[in-house]
């Protein structure tokens, strides 16, 4: 074939252009195995830590990420934290196009500067440098490097080479060097089965992961942090804002925290002491006293980010919270504890990894851990955990924020790891009782009561703070979206904070709930609690199945039928029971115009191998189908 001169010229120019680029970051050098299921590829992620002493640490990071499509943009965001003890010595970034050509140079001044406060965290006086690149085309690569010098060594950066679904890793390297007078405690999690090389020698640790394909996200999979490699480190000698410490176990560490961060912060003004003592003077039960104090704090204080103490690690003085009426999680927890002391109630300041996914304090690595604090009250009946930043959460309610996880309880005697309360499947209940009437025209008129507790309480109790418009939108669009033309006639709520049960009372109506076929009327019996969700189907499931929290629903409906119709057929009772839970449906004919519908659904908390996912999906699919079970009425002949 003869090549035209013009085409040959273009090919030569392009050939020369390609080889003038930094081919090291060209997307054409990425192996095909790393682009499958990937929205982004970590080209390299090199972290080097020099722990020079118990009072000085340097962290250097060099990282390049290739973003293949818009779904990978979140992976390219750059965040670097700093505060008065953590100084950014160097920060820069460069953006490359698909061929590896530099298209944008980003200096430190181009980064935005924000407060690192997130609304609930334990350590919130820090700041962060942030940069988000807005691409004009894909793929692109962003490279960045920074160096942070810190006088805080109470916690050491962890290594989590796979930190996102649908992101492959070409190479990740982590190294730490340290002097011989320090002992480094470490824990390696989920290393087995991953391409990791490690080198451990006197004064240094080194880890490398190479050529890790992307892990595709799958519904109901465990949190990524629980199934991928994670390295945590801690030094037995450390410094926090100039305060030195030594801890080889959690008891020693807790004692250090109490003596250096908490012991001098609990003074309460005399006038407030007298007020608290007056409130509890006739109460003998310490839990009842605690409830009074907790309600007092909720009525008096509000949450606000506070930037005081040693780098935000030490709570505000309790007397300042008392005077100002606000504080962060540390301040409000310490203030509540101080008032509990006045009332004669034993309680303990407690550090926790709050929110989802659940995360435990690492038993084998003694260091500053957690992102939040709350209050622990020991009791013979059951442990009580108090969230001190909320003005609306009932006494002792954890929801999904601090439930079922290892936490650090701090006392003058030292630290102790304890496990917070976990809701049993049957404690997280929702009970729906309803009476509804089907009109001859196929409409529905109903009164409904919904009672929720445990984890399910969390899904409902915020309704009482919402506007009428938002409440009605909730029922029409989110809760009962399958009832068309619905009108809410009335509603009210009863929030039983003693029992921690939220009750909803709703009166409603809707036209055309039933459908007609000749002389027959058909309608779904389950009008008010249909489970429509069916997990996604996977031909070749890769990840385990996790049901992080269980629940139980119990429904009982009294159904009034039009007297101009007869019942043609009643569905048979159905029971399905397996390792995942239980489903039971029953329809009882009370008289020619009245039915009783009962339904029980139990979903059990559990972890299961990937092979069980198909059966679980089948279970949920059957439930969704049975929840649409219809009854057939036939018009009476005159």
Contacts of 252 (CB under 8 A, 6+ apart): 246, 366, 414, 415
> Do 136 and 198 reside in the same domain of the chain?
yes
What's CA 469's distance to the chain center, in Å? 28
> Do 311 and 394 reside in the same domain of the chain?
yes
Contacts of 74 (CB under 8 A, 6+ apart): 164
Q: How many domains does the chain fold into?
A: 3
> Do 191 and 128 reside in the same domain of the chain?
yes
Beta strands in 381-485 (DSSP E): 384-386, 406-411, 414-419, 429-438, 444-453
Q: What is the CA radius of gyration of the chain?
A: 30
> Do 413 and 558 reside in the same domain of the chain?
no
Q: What is the bridge-based pairing of β-strands 515-517 and 565-569? A: unpaired
> Do 574 and 602 reside in the same domain of the chain?
yes
Write the DSSP assignment of 202-239 as a string of letters. Answer: TTEEEEEEEEEPPPPP-TTPPPGGGTS-EEEEEESEEE
Judge whether 544 and 190 are in contact, CB under 8 Å.
Answer: no
pLDDT at residue 305 in the model: 66
Judge whether 471 and 491 are in contact, CB under 8 Å.
Answer: yes
> Do 443 and 574 reside in the same domain of the chain?
yes
Task: Assess if residue 2 is contained within a domain.
Answer: no
Judge whether 522 and 515 are in contact, CB under 8 Å.
Answer: yes
pLDDT at residue 123 in the model: 45
Q: Which of 522, 495, 469 is nearest to 395 (CA)?
A: 495
Q: Which of 345, 349, 348 is nearest to 290 (CA)?
A: 345
> Do 413 and 435 reside in the same domain of the chain?
no
Q: Which of 292, 395, 415, 299 is nearest to 348 (CA)?
A: 415
Residue 200: CA count within 13 A, CB half-sphere: 5
Question: Greatest CA separation found in the chain?
Answer: 104
What's CA 593's distance to the chain center, in Å? 48
Span 519-560, pLDDT tens digits:
999 999 999 999 999 999 999 999 999 999 999 999 999 999
Task: Assess if residue 331 is contained within a domain.
Answer: yes
Task: Assess if residue 221 is contained within a domain.
Answer: yes
Judge whether 314 and 265 are in contact, CB under 8 Å.
Answer: yes
The residue with tokens 């729906």 is 432
Judge whether 300 and 336 are in contact, CB under 8 Å.
Answer: no
41 beta partners: 66, 168
Q: What is the bridge-based pairing of β-strands 406-411 and 384-386? A: unpaired
DSSP state of 31: -
* Angle 535-539-543 from CA coordinates, rounded to 5°: 70
Q: Which of 545, 559, 450 is nearest to 507 (CA)?
A: 450
Please report, for the domain that includes residue 307, its CATH number. Answer: 3.10.620.30
Task: Assess if residue 140 is contained within a domain.
Answer: yes
The residue among 240, 273, 299 that closes a domain is 240
433 beta partners: 449, 556
Which structure tokens are listed for 245?
A: 């410490």
pLDDT at residue 597 in the model: 98
Task: Assess if residue 5 is contained within a domain.
Answer: no
Residue 332 and residue 329: Cα distance in Å, rounded? 5
Residue 533 and residue 102: Cα distance in Å, rounded? 47
Please report, for the domain that includes residue 225, its CATH number. Answer: 2.60.40.3140
> Do 181 and 166 reside in the same domain of the chain?
yes
Contacts of 618 (CB under 8 A, 6+ apart): none
What kind and span of H or E run contains 574?
Answer: strand 574-578
Which structure tokens are listed for 62?
A: 């060099």
Contacts of 19 (CB under 8 A, 6+ apart): none
Task: Assess if residue 335 is contained within a domain.
Answer: yes
What's CA 475's distance to the chain center, in Å? 25
Residue 532 and residue 482: Cα distance in Å, rounded? 10
What's the full length of the chain, in residues?
638
pTM for this model (two decimals): 0.90
> Do 209 and 261 reside in the same domain of the chain?
no
The residue among 225, 240, 255 that closes a domain is 240
Please report, for the domain that includes residue 623, its CATH number. Answer: 2.60.120.1130
SS3 97: coil
pLDDT at residue 304 in the model: 79
> Do 327 and 395 reside in the same domain of the chain?
yes
Residue 449 and residue 528: Cα distance in Å, rounded? 10
CB count within 10 Å of CB 558 equals: 16
Q: What is the dihedral of CA 249, 252, 257, 258, to 10 degrees?
A: 140
> Do 354 and 324 reside in the same domain of the chain?
yes
The residue among 395, 419, 443 that closes a domain is 419
pLDDT at residue 12 in the model: 34
Judge whether 545 and 604 are in contact, CB under 8 Å.
Answer: no
Residue 508 and residue 485: Cα distance in Å, rounded? 11
Contacts of 345 (CB under 8 A, 6+ apart): 286, 289, 290, 293, 377
pLDDT at residue 127 in the model: 86
List of the chain residues with pLDDT < 70: 1-23, 117-125, 305-312
Q: Which domain holds residue 614?
A: 428-635
Judge whether 599 and 584 are in contact, CB under 8 Å.
Answer: yes
Q: What is the dihedral of CA 281, 283, 284, 285, to 10 degrees?
A: -140
Which structure tokens are listed for 147?
A: 């160096």
415 beta partners: 410
Which structure tokens are listed for 417?
A: 């790891």
pLDDT at residue 300 in the model: 95
> Do 230 and 267 reside in the same domain of the chain?
no
CB count within 10 Å of CB 542 equals: 12
Task: Assess if residue 4 is contained within a domain.
Answer: no
Task: Assess if residue 376 is contained within a domain.
Answer: yes
């Amino acid at each position: 074939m003869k090549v035209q001169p013009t085409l040959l010229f273009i090919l030569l120019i392009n050939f020369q252009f390609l080889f003038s680029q930094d081919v090291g970051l060209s997307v054409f050098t990425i192996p095909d195995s790393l682009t499958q299921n990937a929205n982004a590829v970590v080209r390299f992620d090199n972290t080097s830590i020099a722990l020079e002493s118990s009072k000085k640490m340097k962290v250097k990071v060099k990282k390049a990420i290739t973003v293949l499509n818009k779904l990978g943009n979140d992976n390219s965001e750059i965040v670097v934290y700093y505060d008065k003890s953590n100084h950014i010595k160097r920060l820069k970034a460069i953006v490359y196009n698909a061929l590896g050509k530099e298209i944008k140079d980003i200096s430190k001044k181009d980064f935005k500067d924000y407060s690192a406060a997130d609304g609930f965290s334990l350590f919130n006086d820090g700041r962060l440098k942030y940069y988000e690149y807005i691409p004009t085309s894909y793929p692109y690569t962003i490279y960045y490097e920074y160096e942070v010098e810190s006088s805080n060594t109470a916690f050491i950066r962890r290594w989590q080479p796979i930190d996102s679904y649908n992101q492959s890793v070409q190479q990740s390297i982590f190294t730490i060097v340290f002097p011989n007078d320090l002992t480094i405690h470490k824990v390696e999690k989920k290393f087995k089965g991953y391409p990791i090389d490690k080198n451990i020698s006197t004064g240094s640790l080194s880890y490398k992961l190479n050529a890790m394909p992307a892990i595709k996200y799958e519904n109901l999979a465990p949190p990524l942090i629980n199934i991928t490699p994670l390295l945590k480190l801690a030094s037995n000698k450390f410094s926090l804002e100039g305060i030195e410490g030594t801890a080889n176990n959690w008891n020693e560490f807790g004692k250090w925290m109490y003596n250096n961060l908490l012991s001098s912060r609990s003074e309460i003004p005399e006038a407030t002491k007298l007020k608290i003592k007056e409130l509890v003077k006739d109460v003998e039960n310490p839990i009842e006293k605690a409830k009074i104090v907790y309600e007092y704090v909720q009525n008096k204080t509000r949450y606000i980010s506070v930037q005081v103490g040693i780098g935000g690690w030490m709570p505000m003085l309790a007397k300042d919270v008392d005077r100002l009426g606000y504080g962060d999680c540390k301040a409000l927890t310490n203030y509540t504890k101080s008032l509990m002391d006045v009332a004669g109630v034993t309680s303990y300041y407690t550090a926790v990894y709050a929110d989802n996914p659940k995360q435990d304090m690492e038993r084998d690595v003694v260091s500053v851990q957690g992102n939040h604090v709350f209050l622990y009250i020991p009791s013979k009946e059951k442990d009580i955990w108090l969230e001190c930043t909320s003005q609306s959460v009932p006494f002792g309610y954890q929801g999904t924020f601090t439930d079922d996880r290892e936490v650090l309880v701090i006392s003058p005697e030292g630290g102790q790891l304890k496990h917070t309360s976990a809701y049993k499947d049957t404690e997280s209940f929702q009970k729906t009782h309803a009476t509804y009437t089907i009109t001859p025209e196929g409409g529905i008129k109903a009164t409904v009561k919904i009672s929720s507790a445990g984890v399910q309480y969390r899904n409902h109790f915020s309704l009482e703070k919402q506007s009428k418009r938002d409440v009605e939108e909730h029922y029409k669009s989110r809760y009962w979206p399958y009832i068309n033309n619905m009108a809410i006639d009335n509603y009210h709520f009863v929030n039983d904070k003693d029992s921690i049960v939220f009750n909803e009372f709703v009166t409603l109506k809707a036209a055309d709930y039933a459908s007609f076929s000749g002389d027959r009327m058909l309608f779904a019996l389950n009008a008010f609690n249909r489970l429509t969700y069916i997990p996604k189907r996977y031909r070749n499931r890769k990840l385990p199945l996790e049901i992080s929290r269980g629940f139980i629903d119990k429904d009982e409906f009294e159904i009034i039928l039009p007297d101009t119709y007869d019942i043609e057929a009643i569905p048979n009772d159905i029971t399905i029971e397996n390792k995942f839970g239980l489903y039971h449906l029953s329809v009882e004919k009370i008289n020619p115009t009245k039915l009783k519908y009962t339904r029980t659904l139990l979903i059990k908390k559990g972890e299961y191998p990937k092979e069980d996912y198909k059966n679980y999906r089948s279970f949920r699919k059957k439930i969704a189908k049975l929840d649409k079970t219809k009854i057939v009425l036939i018009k009476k002949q005159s």
